[in-house]
């Protein structure tokens, strides 16, 4: 599903990803672990087409991302959901409105949006919070909203960038359990970037260790 071969990435003349090769299969939960600055977020941004790379091959569903034209890239990115450490919710919009946003941007009909958002609210267990604002939610609840929003366009891949780093250990476990449930129920491939070994232990089927842009270990 995601095939990376000999990928290199530079910021000006600093190499931040060095000769990275990874194969991630459909339905896997795959972790990329390493200290801050290792290149984890950069790698995720390459996978979802937000970041260009110097050379190497990066295929998602057998398509080379850097060859995609602008409108193809937009279509491609529908297939990839993403969640972040600080949730990236819009503060002046309700839970329901936050989750609706991607479907609104893609011009879905009101009834389709409403059905999908209600289904996702049930999946993440936040039905009774649909009219609340982000400031009225706990960290774990905010991440549940972000997860629901990431799933609205039925992506095959979910990228998680330090998605539990702002949460306490119990909340982390509950979010990881939700991600496992989503992986099993919806057969979504999940790629998790984290600096926390505990997260890897709890959820990952495969993990690789990244340091200064190099893969220094692999565990499967």
Interface residues with ligand ADP (CB under 6 A) are 11, 16, 34, 36-42, 85, 162
Residue 194 Cα distances to 2, 29, 36, 39, 161, angstroms:
19, 13, 9, 11, 7
Residue 122 or 197: the one with the smaller Cβ distance to ligand ADP is: 197
Least CB distance to ligand ADP at residue 11 (A): 3
59, 6 contact by CB (below 8 A): no
Q: How many CB atoms lie within 10 A of CB 9?
A: 23
Residue 89 or 113: the one with the smaller Cβ distance to ligand ADP is: 89
39, 213 contact by CB (below 8 A): yes
Reduce the DSSP state of residue 124 to 3 states and report it.
Answer: helix
What is the residue whose two structure tokens read 């095959």? 156
Q: How many CB atoms lie within 10 A of CB 43?
A: 27
Residue 28 or 161: the one with the smaller Cβ distance to ligand ADP is: 161
Beta-strand pair 80-84/29-33: unpaired
For residue 151, give the H/E element and its range.
Answer: helix 139-151
Residue 14 or 135: the one with the smaller Cβ distance to ligand ADP is: 14
Least CB distance to ligand ADP at residue 115 (A): 34
Least CB distance to ligand ADP at residue 4 (A): 15
The strand pairing partners of 161, in sequence order, are 84, 193
Least CB distance to ligand ADP at residue 26 (A): 25
Least CB distance to ligand ADP at residue 40 (A): 3
Least CB distance to ligand ADP at residue 191 (A): 13
Residue 16 or 68: the one with the smaller Cβ distance to ligand ADP is: 16
Residue 155 or 213: the one with the smaller Cβ distance to ligand ADP is: 213
**Rounded Cα gap, residues 177 and 171, in angstroms:** 10
77, 49 contact by CB (below 8 A): yes
């Amino acid at each position: 599903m995601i095939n990376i071969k000999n990928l290199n990435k530079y910021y000006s003349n600093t190499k931040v990803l060095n000769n990275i090769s990874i194969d991630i299969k459909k339905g896997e939960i795959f972790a990329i672990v390493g200290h801050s600055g290792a290149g984890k977020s950069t790698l995720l941004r390459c996978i979802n087409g937000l970041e260009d790379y110097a050379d190497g091959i990066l295929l998602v569903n057998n398509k080379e991302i850097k060859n995609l034209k602008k409108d193809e890239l937009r279509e491609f990115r529908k297939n990839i959901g993403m969640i972040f450490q600080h949730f990236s919710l819009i503060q002046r919009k309700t839970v329901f409105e936050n989750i609706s946003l991607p479907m609104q941007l893609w011009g879905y009909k009101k009834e389709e949006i409403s059905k999908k958002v209600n289904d996702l609210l049930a999946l993440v267990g936040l039905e009774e919070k649909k009219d609340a604002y982000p400031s009225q939610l706990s960290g774990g609840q905010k991440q549940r909203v972000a997860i629901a929003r990431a799933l609205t366009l039925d992506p095959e891949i979910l990228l998680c960038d330090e998605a539990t780093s702002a949460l306490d250990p119990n909340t982390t476990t509950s979010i990881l359990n939700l991600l496992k449930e989503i992986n099993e129920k919806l057969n979504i491939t999940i790629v998790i970037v984290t600096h926390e070994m505990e997260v890897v232990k709890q959820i990952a089927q495969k993990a690789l260790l990244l340091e200064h842009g190099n893969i220094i270990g692999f565990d499967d």
